[in-house]
Each structure stands twice: as structure tokens, then as C-alpha cells.
Amino acid sequence: MYELSVYLGLGEGCVMNAVWLVLIISGSVVALMTGNVDALMSSVLEGAYDAVQLVIGLAGIFCLWVGIERLANESGLIDALARVTRPVLGPLFPHVKDEEKIMGAISATIISNILGLSSQTPLGLKAMAQIRQVHGETYQAIHSMITLVIISAAGFCIFPSGVIALRAALGSQNPAIVAGPTAVAGLVSTCAGLLAHRLFSKRWDETQGGSKLP
Amino acid sequence: MMFFLANLGMYVFPIILIGVPLYAWVKGVPVYETFVKGAEEGLQVIIGTLPYLLAIFVGISCFRGSGALQLVSKHMGRLLKPWGIPTEVLPIIVTRPISGSGSLGVTGEILRVHGPDTSLGLLASILQGATDTSFYVVTIYFGSVGIRKTRHALPACLIGDIFGFLTGFIIWKLMVYGR
């Protein structure tokens, strides 16, 4: 997809252009060929409705967690957290490792992720905003941002509550048996994503004529 | 151990909820004002993500509603069959990075039809829990800071997902073989 995006002249590094176009065009072509146009119409409208529903549904959780984060921030808890996690997370975020506010928010995001708390996304977005603040106005993803997104998207979690609840509801004798395997898979997924990130970044730095991006 | 892990999230939440404001109060932070200011910021952040989420949701529902997603799963099924991956779980692999609720629906259907404790049910559950929804995470994280050029973030996440699924599949093979 990365190559495709550059090749089609959709803008270097703008993968989302290619993804979005592919989704829309292939969907529409299939619908026209199979006569599924009615289903397509209602599905698209439903998608738009769902996006608004999701944002409204998340608003409360966001207000709550960002409010709590602000308290933790002003009382110095975030800085303390950053100092504790620094030996582990410092090497992963070399460009921002000295900014305690950012590292604290990143740590809180990753801990929420591992514990499966609803604070994951609110705190993650807070960390993104702080990384952006340091680097100023930019429309381009910054190295540390991509690292955080990869860790969040890999979803390393010690207790996948959604699946376990589903299994329990359907009468499983041992609903939590999947927690171990999913944790290992999540860990491998995180490592593979970070490795891919490293390789992509290296090539990016080379193609940009040695001008390293933060 | 399992019980402890299961309830860890449940205990951590009230501890944070009490602990953080209490600590802030002891430190002399104006608790109420600070919380409200933070909440306001949270509201602005989530509202700002709407255009991005809407764009990707519309794209995905176009792909799904037209039947293109089913078409892709069907053809990928033929590709992956020689590897010993049961065709029933393919829709999970294809849907998981795109839509969390969509793949949870597919998983629920497999668990309901085949039973959660069968080997197929086990594989479906592991694949569902192995990763998070990459498209959603990339969209909402970068959308919240107004970044459109996401560089290699999505491809890297998808590579991670593939390895996550592979690991889940290998562990499942070992579990089933060990039975």
C-alpha cells in the first residue's frame, strides 16, 4: 500500500489516500456488478450515523479520563510515572524521552492498554497532542507518534474482556483460557509492528537524503 | 492467578478514581476546577476526531455493504486453505483490523454455531483477542492531532496484525495438538 500510494501520485507517505480510495472504488464497483446498490446505500448512511454515535458515546469517557489526567498532571503524578517507566520506554521513544509530561502520558496509555482500561484512547490522544505540541504545527506523522499508534493498535492486553465476556455468555466452561494465547499473540504483534516501523523509518531517512525526521 | 488478572482492571479503576483526586487535593491543586478544565479539553479532542472517523467509517461500510469484503474473504480462503487455517475463521482475520464490532459479530456467530469450547471456537476467540482494530486506532489517534500524512503507520500496524494472527494460530495448533 505504501508503494502503491507513492506510485499513484497520491502524495508521498499519504497511505490513507490510497486506502480510502480503494475502499470506496472497490466497494462501488462490486455493488454495481452484483446489483447490491441498495445495500451499499444503506450501509454507507449507517456508517456515517455510526461515526457520530461513536463520538457521542465516547464523549463521556473522554471527559472523565482527560479530567483525571489533568489532575494527575498538575499534582505531579504524571512526572513520577514517567520517571518509573523511563528505563523501559525511553529507548522506544528516543526523541521525547526527556519530556516528562509526554512520557508520563505515553506510559499511562500503555498501562491502560495492558490492563484493558477504557482510559486507553483518551490518554493516548492526550499523549499525541503533547507530542505534537513539542514539534509544532505539522501535518506529517512524527516518529514517536507512529510508535505509540503501533503499540496501541497491536493491543497487547493481559485480559481481553470483550472476547471473554462473549465466551462466558455463550456457555463456555473456561472462558478465560484464551487470555494467555491472546497476550502472547499481542506481544508478538507489538514487536513485529515496531520492527516494521524501524525498517520503514530507515528507508524513509535514506530517501529523504539524510534529513532525519523527528 | 487467573481470577486476580480478571479482576485487576476492576480494582485499578476505583483506585485511580479515588487516588488521583485525593493526591491532587493533598498537593494543593484546585481539584474541581482542574478536573472540569481537563474534561473540556477531552470533549474538544473527541469532537475533533469526527471528520476522520466519519471518512473511514463511510469507506469501510462501502466496502462491507457492497459485498466486497465477503468476496475478499472467499478468495483469501482459497489462498490460505493449504496452510491448514480453517475457512470459517477467515472473515475474522479480514475484518479484525477494519472493524472491531464487525469481527466480534463474526466471532460470536462461530461460537454460537460451533460452541465456544470446540477447537474452532477456541481459534476464533484467540484471533479476535490477538490484536486491536488497526484502522480505527490509526484514524482516531492521528485524526485527533489533525495529521493526514500518516506515513507508514498503517502498513506497520497491519504487519503487526499478521504476525499476531500467525502467533495465535501456532499457539492454537499446539493447544489442540496437546489435547
- Nearest by CB: B156 against A162, A182, A197: A197
Which residues, in sequence order, are CB contacts of A49 under 8 Å at separation 6+?
A: none
CB-CB neighbours of B112 under 10 Å:
14
Region label for A209, one of left (φ > 0), alpha (ψ between -120 and 50) or beta (otherwise): left
Q: Which residue in B has a C-alpha nearest to residue A148's C-alpha?
A: B141
Q: Which residue in A has a C-alpha nearest to residue B162's C-alpha?
A: A189
Say if the Cβ atoms of A193 and B159 lie within 8 Å: yes
A213 φ, ψ (degrees, to nearest 5): -90, 145
pLDDT band, residue B22 (cuts 50/70/90): very high
- Reference A144, options A113, A178, A99; nearest CA is A99
Q: How far is A139 from chain B (nearest CA, A)?
A: 5
Say if the Cβ atoms of B132 and A155 lie within 8 Å: yes
- Nearest by CB: A154 against B6, B117, B164: B164
**Per the structure block, which three cell numbers stand in for B157?**
500496524
Say if the Cβ atoms of A192 and B141 lie within 8 Å: no
Say if the Cβ atoms of B167 and A184 lie within 8 Å: yes
How open is the CA angle A20-A25-A27, to the nearest 5 degrees?
Answer: 95
- Please tell me the predicted confidence (pLDDT) of residue A9: 46
Q: Which of A188, A212, A213 to mutate to test the interface with B (most CBs of B within 10 A)?
A: A188
Q: Does B35 touch chain A (CB under 8 A)?
A: yes
Q: Chain A contacts of B68, Cβ < 8 Å?
A: 26-27, 29-31
Q: How far is B90 from chain A (nearest CA, A)?
A: 17
Provide the chain B residues 118-137 that lie in CB contact (below 8 A) with chain A. 121-122, 125-126, 128-135, 137
Q: Is the pLDDT of residue A2 over 70?
A: no
pTM of the model: 0.88
Rounded average pLDDT over B14-36: 93
- Please tell me the predicted confidence (pLDDT) of residue A140: 84
Say if the Cβ atoms of A185 and B167 lie within 8 Å: yes
Q: Which of A161-165, B36-40, B52-56, B154-158 has the lowest mean pLDDT?
A: A161-165
Q: Is the pLDDT of residue A207 over 80?
A: no
Contacts for B14-21: CB closer than 8 Å, 24+ residues apart: B16/A68, B16/A119, B17/A68, B20/A68, B20/A71, B20/A72, B20/A75, B20/A77, B21/A68, B21/A71
Q: Which of A33-47, A182-196, B80-94, B128-142 has the lowest mean pLDDT?
A: B80-94
- Please tell me the predicted confidence (pLDDT) of residue A211: 46
Say if the Cβ atoms of B157 and A154 lie within 8 Å: yes
Domain boundaries, chain A: 36-207
Mean of the per-residue pLDDT values of chain A: 87
Determine the Cα–Cα distance for residues B6 and A63; give it in Å rounded to an integer.
26
Say if the Cβ atoms of B159 and A196 lie within 8 Å: yes
* pLDDT tens-place string over residues A151-189: 999 989 888 888 888 999 998 998 889 999 999 999 999
pLDDT band, residue B82 (cuts 50/70/90): confident
Say if the Cβ atoms of B141 and A125 lie within 8 Å: yes
Q: Chain B contacts of A132, Cβ < 8 Å?
A: 145, 147
Q: Which of A58, A150, A202 to mutate to test the interface with B (most CBs of B within 10 A)?
A: A150
Say if the Cβ atoms of A47 and B6 lie within 8 Å: no
- Nearest by CB: B153 against A20, A146, A189: A146
